Amino acid sequence: MATAMFQQCIGTIQLNSCGDEWGSCKKFRNYSLRFISRGFALDVRLLTKGSFISSRSKLHLVHALSSHSSLVDPVSSISDGANDHQKNISESALILIRHGESLWNEMNLFTGSIDVSLTKKGVEEAIEAGKRISNIPVDIIYTSSLIRAKMTAMLAMIQHRHKKVPIIRHTESDQAKEWTRVFSEETERQSIPVITAWQLNERMYGELQGLHKQETIDRYGKEKVHEWRRSYDIPPPKGESLEMCSQRAVSYFREQIEPQLQSGKHVMVAAHGNCLRSIIMYLDKLTSLEVTTLELSTGVPLLYIYKEGKFIRRGSLVGPTEAGVYAYTESLALYRQYLDEMFQ
């Protein structure tokens, strides 16, 4: 696969030698070498006259200038003869993550729309989640507008092996858009857009927000509280039912996120227990009865493959060192192989 990538990019790779090792790069001067002071440390092998030359020196691969984004997203760009069949495989990864433990999860309080931070354990869960998805391609991230989901997305993404920088896009006003513009295409390519959307916020828990869950059970009874928490269409007092939450969250998913998947982008969504339950209900075509038993743990990423208009659930991801990761799909296995070769 590395052969395929370099065949595509050979004329356009930018390389940065490390100081005194520059001499060993001279043989590649026909290939648009340029000194750039940042990038990823890699051992780069280049294909020239039909065979690989190992540079031996530590090179910094900055990016490919070609229109292909194959060095950072090889899944969609593999095109040598051996991999021609890949052209016909059009699939995207969708990762869903419920945020890590929040301060109010720890205190067993109804949280809903209240904007509380992760706990230390929540931070660790987000980092662990990031390790689990570190071999899965991610092109764009969606989070709710609440800090616990944003923290989870950022902490998870900094674990990714491709080392791209997640950047929150501020689109709340024209000025916000203008003032947060990135003026380098190269920097842009090394970043991942993070879109925040209130539609992905946790279901609004109304008059339960801030109440202790056990004390609420003691006061209103187990059955009533369970109905508020898990029924599909019965809202908690002055709050949103799952159905109401689903109307905004699933509409947003269908209108904004699904088109990204359709266009071949790999997407991560960091959100909340009930918001994600409503999205999973849509993806897995669960009935309003089935969704009542769906529970999501904090900080556990779930993988779906979007292919030919269908969502295929692949379950929760195992740790990055476990061989099972290879079993997800052929494209994902190739992506991991690429990461192994490029980001050892």
Q: Which stretch binds ligand 3PG (CB under 6 A): 62-70, 106-114, 152-160, 246-254?
A: 106-114
Please state, in angstroms and rounded to a whole number, the distance separating the CA atoms of residues 225 and 230: 8
Rg (CA), the chain: 23
Stretch (H or E) spanning 222: helix 222-230
Q: How far is the CB of 290 from ligand 3PG (least distance, A)?
A: 16
Beta bridge partners of 92: 306
Asked if residue 146 lies in contact with residue 272, where contact means CB atoms within 8 angstroms, the answer is yes
**Residue of 187, 103, 111 whose CA lies nearest to 144:** 111
Q: Is 10 helix (H, G, I), strand (E, B) or coil?
A: coil
Which of 74/236 has CB closer to ligand 3PG?
236
Asked if residue 144 lies in contact with residue 272, where contact means CB atoms within 8 angstroms, the answer is yes
60 is catalytic: no
Q: Of 28, 110, 232, 304, which lies in the binding site for ligand 3PG, with binding defined by CB under 6 A? A: 110
Binding mask 264-283 for ligand 3PG (x = CB under 6 A): --------xxx---------
Q: How far is the CB of 203 from ligand 3PG (least distance, A)?
A: 7
232 near ligand 3PG (CB under 6 A): no
Q: How far is the CB of 268 from ligand 3PG (least distance, A)?
A: 19
Catalytic residue among 91, 125, 202, 240: 202
Q: Is 293 marked within a binding site?
A: no
3-state SS of the chain: helix, strand, coil percent to 5?
A: 45, 20, 35
What token pair was written down for 324? 């099972």
Q: Which stretch binds ligand 3PG (CB under 6 A): 14-22, 70-78, 108-116, 331-339?
A: 108-116
Provide the 8-state DSSP code for 146: S
Q: How far is the CB of 162 from ligand 3PG (least distance, A)?
A: 30
229 near ligand 3PG (CB under 6 A): yes
Residue at token pair 């696969």: 1
Q: Among positive and negative, which fits the CA dihedral 157, 166, 41, 82?
A: positive
Which of 273/301 has CB closer to ligand 3PG?
273
100 near ligand 3PG (CB under 6 A): no
Cβ-proximal residues to 186 (8 Å cutoff; 6+ apart), any chain: 62, 63
What token pair was written down for 290? 């089935």
Q: Of 100, 112, 236, 301, which lies in the binding site for ligand 3PG, with binding defined by CB under 6 A? A: 112
Catalytic residue among 99, 160, 162, 266: 99
By Cβ distance, which residue is nearest to ligand 3PG?
111
Number of residues in contact with ligand 3PG, rule: CB under 6 A? 9
Please state, in angstroms and rounded to a whole number, the distance separating the CA atoms of residues 42 and 28: 16
Q: Is 266 marked within a binding site?
A: no
Residues 88, 89, 91, CA angle at the centre, nearest 5°? 140
Q: Is 104 marked within a binding site?
A: yes
Q: How far is the CB of 110 from ligand 3PG (least distance, A)?
A: 4
Please state, in angstroms and rounded to a whole number, the distance separating the CA atoms of residues 269 and 302: 10
Q: Of 139, 202, 240, 258, which lies in the binding site for ligand 3PG, with binding defined by CB under 6 A? A: 202
99 is catalytic: yes
Which of 205/304 has CB closer to ligand 3PG?
205
Asked if residue 92 lies in contact with residue 305, where contact means CB atoms within 8 angstroms, the answer is yes
Stretch (H or E) spanning 243: helix 242-252
Q: Is 45 marked within a binding site?
A: no
Q: Catalogue the active-site residues.
A: 99, 202
- Residues tagged in the binding site annotation: 98-105, 111-112, 148, 202-205, 213, 229-230, 273-274
- Residues tagged in the binding site annotation for substrate: 98-105, 111-112, 148, 202-205, 213, 229-230, 273-274
Residues that bind ligand 3PG (CB under 6 A): 110-112, 202, 205, 229, 272-274
